[in-house]
Amino acid sequence: MQQAVVRTRKRAARGTQGASMADVARMAGVSSQTVSRVSNGYAGVNEETRQQVLAAMKQLGYRPNSAARALRRGEFRTIGVITFGLSTTGNVRTLEAIANSAAHEGYAVTLLPIAVPTQDEVRGAFSRLGELAVDAIIIIQEVHLLDAVTLSLPPNVQVVVADSDAGDRYTVVDTDQAGGTRTAVRHLLDLGHRTVWHLAGPEESYAAQRRTDAWRAELTEAGHTPPPLVRGDWSAESGYRAGLELASQEECTAVFAANDQMALGLLRALHERGRKVPDDVSVIGFDDIPEAGSFLPPLTTVHQDFAEVGRRCVEGVLRQMRRDTTEHGLTLVPTQLVVRDSTAPPPSHRPA
């Protein structure tokens, strides 16, 4: 065993290659096939033998050649993720869920954030992923770019998109944005509010557009006139600025904010203008961020299951890879209304 170590160190000193699989096999007293099985994490190897092989690898400084294995297998066990920024709660939590789900399946994640959401940046990201050797791509889509750009996909790479209208060309996974919005608006109307104001997200966002459309449709179908739209940019600061405007509207007794961060800014503005929540104005958010229950008052909001979205994205690309086929269609993950203390009947529906 000691001779194998000496031979390996002499080769390294001469500038030739380091320890080989055969060296590890000789030192551990096993076959090269057993070393290969231990390197690849396959079951069926006696635990004592496995520890023996690992000890030999460590002593010899042997590292399995993952690139060579990938070429032999025809896969890299890596999923590329393109995301249009990491500033929003949805993007960050979806990415976290994708990374966790991929790791559970034995895959690594290569992240390519796009700082400036332009068509050239999208094309460039796909080109870079082609060079980085990935088996599949998941796109976390926040802007209206995927439909407008001519994509050059790397060969034999499957694609799943989170948050898009491109279900006729890709596998798309999304939360039920419209269903969650309708439930929130209906909750406020059932409490007795004559209408519901909407603090919307940025105009270029798919999620914001779906929530705005569903808000307007739910009010119209219930026979209520939608009030003027107020728009933010997902940030608490934009919610605060919009809140100052909404606080001046005496007839405003209920607001549906398109995300919890803007709802937080809205709560501050209403407080500063002397409009009590929920006594004077009810507020509902969207996302159910971990801090939502600690707002003052605790925020009623729509819960999104980001972990399930991430899991289904990974499941979708792996299913396509194993079947060697491209799937089209939309999978919606249900949302849930979480009722806390920021909503109540309007003043006109409470006893004097």
Looking at per-residue pLDDT, the higher value among 249 and 151 belongs to 249
Alpha carbon distances (Å) from 85 to 101, 113, 114, 204, 276: 21, 6, 6, 13, 35
Task: For the chain, give the mean pLDDT.
Answer: 84
Is it the case that residue 104 has pLDDT exceeding 50? yes
Looking at per-residue pLDDT, the higher value among 263 and 77 belongs to 263
Q: Compute the average pLDDT of residues 89-98.
A: 87
Q: Compute the average pLDDT of residues 34-40.
A: 78
Is it the case that residue 72 has pLDDT exceeding 80? no
Residue 108 one-letter amino acid: A
340, burial (CB in 10 Å: exposed 0-12, middle 13-18, buried 19+): middle
pLDDT in tens, 39-56: 766 667 888 898 898 888
pLDDT in tens, 129-165: 766 778 888 988 765 555 544 455 555 678 888 876 6
pLDDT in tens, 266-296: 999 999 999 999 999 999 999 999 999 999 9
Which of helix, strand or coil describes residue 201? coil
pLDDT in tens, 201-211: 998 888 899 99
DSSP count for the chain of H helices, then E strands = 12, 12
Lowest mean per-residue pLDDT among 45-59, 115-129, 221-235, 303-317: 115-129
C-alpha torsion sign, points 187, 192, 194, 196: negative
Nearest to 335 by CA among 143, 221, 174: 174
What's the pLDDT at 77? 84
Report the Cα 38 to chain-centroid distance in Å: 33
Is it the case that residue 6 has pLDDT exceeding 60? no
pLDDT band at 14 (very low <50, low <70, confident <90, very high): very low
Residues facing 338 on adjacent strands: 301
pLDDT in tens, 179-204: 999 999 999 999 999 999 999 999 88
What's the pLDDT at 148? 47
pLDDT band at 310 (very low <50, low <70, confident <90, very high): very high
Q: Token pair of 104, please?
A: 């559970």
Tokens 């990415």 identify what position? 95
With b for 16 or more beta-carbon neighbours within 10 A and e for fewer, the 240-266 pattern comes to bbbbeebbeeeebbbbbbbbbbbbbbb
Q: Parallel, antiparallel, or unpaired: how do β-strands 300-303 and 171-175 relate?
A: unpaired
With b for 16 or more beta-carbon neighbours within 10 A and e for fewer, the 154-173 pattern comes to beebbbbbbbbbbeeebbbb
What's the pLDDT at 33? 84
Alpha carbon distances (Å) from 96 to 7, 109, 137, 153, 243: 45, 10, 15, 24, 31
pLDDT band at 333 (very low <50, low <70, confident <90, very high): very high
pLDDT band at 66 (very low <50, low <70, confident <90, very high): low
What's the pLDDT at 97? 93
Q: Token pair of 229, please?
A: 């739209």
pLDDT band at 253 (very low <50, low <70, confident <90, very high): very high
What's the pLDDT at 64? 67
Read off φ and ψ for residue 340, nearest 5 degrees. Answer: -125, -140
Q: Parallel, antiparallel, or unpaired: how do β-strands 78-83 and 108-113 relate?
A: parallel
